[in-house]
Amino acid sequence: MKQLKIFCSVVLNEAISDFMKKTFLIVLFFPTFLVAQTSKKDSIWLPLKPFLGQWKGIGGGEPGTGVYDRSYNLILNKNFIEIKNKSTYPPSDKNPNGEIHEDIGYFSYDKGIKNFKLRQFHMEGFVNEFSLDSISADKKTLVFVSTAIENIPKGYRAKETYHLISETEIEEVFEIAEPNKGFEVYSKVKLQKQ
C-alpha cells in the first residue's frame, strides 16, 4: 500500500510538473503568436495604410467645385477599410440648386485572387465594384478599374486613381467611360489629412 501511495504521488507530481511546463510555454509564447497574427493581417493593408484617417479637400468636375469630407477606417477585426464620403457642391450657374453627394465604400482583400477590391454604394443607387488594376513601383499611385456597375446602362466603366502625394495629401481622379468609348475625367479632388 505504501508503494502504491509513493507511485501515485510520483505520477501526480509528474503530471502537475508537465502541466506547469505546458502552461508556462503557452503563457510565454502566446503574446508572440498574437503579434505574428496581427502583423500578418496588418501587412496586407500596407499599400492602403496611408489612407487611414480623416480627410478634407476641394475638388471639381462634372458637378462643379465642391468640398469633400472623407474618412478611411479599419473595421470588422481589420478585415475591411470603410470609406465614408460626403461631397457638397454649392449652387452655381451650371447647377443652380447645388448638390450633396454621399457614398460609402469598402476596401477588401480577396485572398483567392490575391488582390484588393473596392465596392462603393452611392446615394443615387449606383453600386461600383472595382479591382486593383495597377500599383506603381513606388507604391504611390493605385488604379482601380470597375468590374461591375449596378443601376447604370450596360457597357459603362469607371476608374478610380489615387495618387499619394505625401503622407498628408492624396489626389483622387474618378473617370467614367461610356459604352465603346475611352475614360473621361468626371471629378478630381485633393484631400488633406486632418
pLDDT digits (tens, 9 = 90+) for 17-55: 665 555 554 544 555 544 445 556 678 999 999 999 999
Give mean pLDDT, residues 169-182: 97
Predicted pLDDT of residue 104: 98
Give mean pLDDT, residues 112-124: 97
Indicate the Cα dihedral angle 13, 17, 18, 22, nearest 10°.
150
Please indicate whether residue 170 or residue 3 has the higher confidence score (pLDDT). Answer: 170
Distances (CA, A) of 47 to 58, 133, 168, 174: 24, 13, 15, 19
Question: Contact, 186 vs 62, CB < 8 A?
Answer: yes
The percentage of the chain sitting over the pLDDT mark of 70, rounded to a whole number, equals 79
C-alpha span between 163 and 142 (Å, rounded): 7
C-alpha span between 107 and 60 (Å, rounded): 24
Burial of residue 114, with CB atoms counted within 10 A of its CB: 0-12 exposed, 13-18 middle, 19 or more buried: exposed
* CB neighbourhood size of 112 (10 A): 5
Question: Contact, 68 vs 87, CB < 8 A?
Answer: yes
C-alpha span between 185 and 164 (Å, rounded): 18
C-alpha span between 146 and 154 (Å, rounded): 13
Is residue 159 scored above 80 in pLDDT? yes
Predicted pLDDT of residue 62: 85
Which has the closest alpha carbon to 109: 119, 100, 101, 99?
119
The grid cell for 16 is 502537475
Give me the CATH topology for the region 49-193. Answer: Lipocalin (2.40.128)
Give mean pLDDT, residues 79-98: 92
* CB neighbourhood size of 18 (10 A): 10
Question: Contact, 95 vs 89, CB < 8 A?
Answer: yes
pTM exceeds 0.85 for this model: no
What is the band of 173 on the pLDDT scale with cuts at 50, 70, 90? very high
Predicted pLDDT of residue 94: 81
